[in-house]
Amino acid sequence: MTRLLDKTFWGLTIGLIALFALNFGLEEWMRTIGLQTMARGCVAIGLLILWRAGLISFGHALFFGFGAYTVALLQIAGIGDAFVLVIAGTAVAGLLAFLLGFLLRQYRAIFFALLNMAFSMILYGVLTKLESLGSTDGIGIRQLSFAGFSPDGESYRTTLFVFGLVFTYLAAIGAHWYLKSTLGTMTMAVRENEIRVEYLGYSAERAIHVKYVISGLLAGMGGVIMAATVGHVDPDSMVYWPVSGDFVFITILAGTGNVSATFIGALVYELLRTYAFEYAPHVWQLIVGGVLLLIIMFLPDGLWSLRSEWRKRRGAAQAARMEAAE
């Protein structure tokens, strides 16, 4: 039990309580940025799991879009409860990842990355041609209900924030516990030496398949939260390849050291993109790209590596003080 209730667990729990309390005093734009951070952070956790196994996907907007469009389709069918929608959107994305996983688990490196992009672009092409799904204009999302409770006005956004916060917390804790499990700790072994993993009696392909399904589930949940936040789904903002690029950017920005880092990276990305677009609308992409370049050059392990560097320096300073005292 103590192994599960570690610093990351308590850090995420304290963050949940703090954000729950702050929610009632946040401005509307802050809630929107917070919800988008949660949505993209969920997808980034899935990419973190794959990245630790030495895999990167340039097409996780596929699952993100499936989760978002599931919300739209179920609303057309008359289902508008947030709990049903998040479970359905997550499950549909996970099922798709399960089916595609039989093919993708056989590939590595750039082939894995580009096959994911290919499937994502197939979905994008289909959605842009389907007039029943709004084609390039997309579909509007109505306000959700929450187990029969239908808040109005500002209370709706407050309730939606709490809803997103709880499910994001559960996803982060679940992913963290998975990474600490036997199958999760096998991630590094799969990346370093698959043949040795096979000799130990584990199937590397099966392990990758499981990780791929988990990443698909997390991306689907992120898509549901984003659809409810924005109130609209369309191919360009949900499925197009630059959306997948955003998720990769966040994963690089955050680093793969801890699941908590993905939300820090997602928040930094949201603020960076928002303010860059507001103050420099003609060159905002140049600013975002420049920040990514600086991160790769000076913080190759992402923002989370700053914590490790700080602890290392603090330990060195303490050791120096002890030597001086002697």
The DSSP result for 219-260, as a single string, is HHHHHHHHHHHHSEE-HHHHTSHHHHHHHHHHHHHH-SS-HH
Report the pLDDT value the prediction gives residue 326, as an integer from 0 to 100: 62
Q: pTM of the full predicted structure?
A: 0.89
Report the pLDDT value the prediction gives residue 54, as an integer from 0 to 100: 84
From 70, 39, 46, select the one nearest 218 (Cα to Cα): 46
Report the pLDDT value the prediction gives residue 304, as an integer from 0 to 100: 75
From 237, 215, 233, select the one nearest 224 (Cα to Cα): 233
Tokens standing for 111? 């082939």
CA-based torsion, 196, 198, 203, 204: positive or negative: positive
Report the pLDDT value the prediction gives residue 191, as an integer from 0 to 100: 75
Q: What is the pLDDT along the chain (326 residues), one digit of tens a residue?
A: 556 677 888 888 998 898 888 888 878 888 889 999 999 999 999 999 998 888 888 889 999 999 999 999 999 998 989 999 999 999 999 999 999 999 998 888 888 889 999 999 999 999 988 888 888 888 988 888 888 888 887 788 889 999 999 999 999 999 999 988 877 777 777 777 777 777 777 788 888 899 999 999 999 999 999 999 998 899 988 998 888 888 998 888 888 778 888 888 888 888 888 888 888 888 888 888 888 888 878 877 777 777 777 777 776 667 667 666 66
Instruction: Report the amino acid identity of residue 7.
Output: K
Tokens standing for 91? 């499950």
Report the pLDDT value the prediction gives residue 103, as an integer from 0 to 100: 92
Cβ-proximal residues to 152 (8 Å cutoff; 6+ apart), any chain: none
